[in-house]
Structure 1
Amino acid sequence: MNTIFKPAILFIIIVALASCGGSKKALTEALEQQRRDSIALAKKNKIHPIQKKYASILNVRPEKISNIKLFEFIDGWMNTPYKLGGEDKSGIDCSFFVQYIYHDVYDVLIERTAEKQFNAPDTDRFKGQKYLRQGDLIFFNPQGSEFAPITHVGFYLGNNKFVHSTARRETTGPGVKISNLKDPYWQRLFVSAGRKPLKPEVLNSKLEP
């Protein structure tokens, strides 16, 4: 039964119990059930602060930020300095950052370097950016060519935004940040996207506005 109709139905039951001489116990139980349903509905519709924060950054509705674990992980690493070969919050590089996301959020171990992540047999590579989904990897190099070594990798979030650890300063300096894939700089360096095997419910997340 649809939740939005329950309060009205319970109200009718309560009125019927009262008008027909229903027992006090039944009336109390009906009122308690209505209270429980109201609390459950409020919890279901409650927007987490992390949803509000990243909905604003990604320019989507808060309810579209469904993977709370992912965005809490990202939030804990935002603005961490970039460091080539770094693997902790004193400094981290791009490939370890996405490896860390996959390990901590999805319980999946992927390769350590961007080049190995790109060339891994289970990386399903594709060029069409319109097919990107949350969880996809995005590979870059200065030539924007698949025939040159991959030098950078990011993690796609949705709505053309991706999170990565970068040496590029942009507006907030180097480090872990969310960037726009449609920025001409990243478009010029874009080589390919890559999809790793994940659970179906993860792969179905596209995060449209």
Structure 2
Amino acid sequence: MNRTTMFTRGTWSIVLVLMLFLSACSSRRYTAKPNASAVKAAEAMSHLKSKQLYRFITDWTGVQYRLGGLDKRGIDCSGFALLLQKDIYGNSLPRRSRDQADVVKEKGIGSLNEGDLIFFSFGGGAVDHVGVYLNNNFFVHASTTRGVVVDDLSIPAYQKAIVKAGTLKK
């Protein structure tokens, strides 16, 4: 056997070992731990009584926030609450969140039902945000930074900002 043949066999042996090693490593997939909040939000969605509400939320999830927006190109919180109440429950609401708060019969957070409204004040005093209660302390809203999302009401920022919650006066 000449030197070229020995070198070629040795090279191929090394290449083969490296390929086997690298392919074994690549078969191990990185699986991130699920975000606990996302898992809980998905669980809240799975427990919705209204499948129509479930479809409405999934259809709007991720739509970006746009002040004054009322369609899939962008929507604000009061517009989202207005459309949800109209399409799912047949209720009409005023356009602005502070006016929506005026047509709600107040309830404690622990007494909220699916579809009830939750009002917040992030700027101090007056109502400046609205969301729709789902269940298990979760609600859906049009977030100014993340668009339409399902969030955990027990997050301290939300707890500090809640002004009023309740059901529409009939």
Answer whether TM exceeds 0.5 for this pair: yes
Q: Report the alpha carbon displacement of residue 57 of structure 1 after superposing the two structures with TM.
A: 2.8
1:104 aligned to which of 87, 91, 96 = 87
Deviations 1:60-115 (A, max 9, x none): 594x4331001101111000000111111110000010100011111111111100
Task: Note the residue ranges of structure 1 that are not aligned, 5 or more in a row.
Answer: 1-53, 199-209
Matched, 1:140 2:117: no
- SS at structure 1 position matched to 2:82: helix
- SS at structure 1 position matched to 2:160: helix
Matched, 1:175 2:147: yes
Q: Which has the larger radius of gyration?
A: 2
**CA 1:178/1:143 → structure 2, altered by over 3 Å: closer, same or farther?**
same
- SS at structure 1 position matched to 2:87: helix
Higher RCO (CA < 8 A, seq sep 6+): 2
The structure whose residues are more often strand, as a share, is 2
Whether the 8 Å CA contact 2:118–2:133 is kept in 1: the answer is yes
Identical residues among aligned pairs (%): 35
Deviations 1:179-204 (A, max 9, x none): 10000110111111021147xxxxxx
Whether the 8 Å CA contact 2:44–2:138 is kept in 1: the answer is no
- SS at structure 2 position matched to 1:59: helix
Matched, 1:59 2:39: no
Amino acid at match of 1:65: L
Q: After TM superposition, which residue ranges in structure 1, 4 or more long, deviate above 4 angstroms?
A: none
Whether the 8 Å CA contact 1:58–1:159 is kept in 2: the answer is no
1:70 aligned to which of 53, 66, 69 = 53
The alignment yields a C-alpha RMSD, in angstroms, of 2.2
Task: Note the residue ranges of structure 2 that are not aligned, 5 or more in a row.
Answer: 1-37
Q: Report the alpha carbon displacement of residue 55 of structure 1 after superposing the two structures with TM.
A: 8.7
Q: Distance in 2 between matches of 1:142 and 1:61?
A: 26
Q: Distance in 2 between matches of 1:130 and 1:117?
A: 21
Whether the 8 Å CA contact 1:154–1:165 is kept in 2: the answer is yes
Give the alignment of 1:2-151 within 5 angstroms: 57-59=41-43, 62=46, 64-120=47-103, 123-126=104-107, 128-142=108-122, 148-151=125-128
**CA 1:143/1:91 → structure 2, altered by over 3 Å: closer, same or farther?**
closer
TM value normalised by structure 1: 0.59
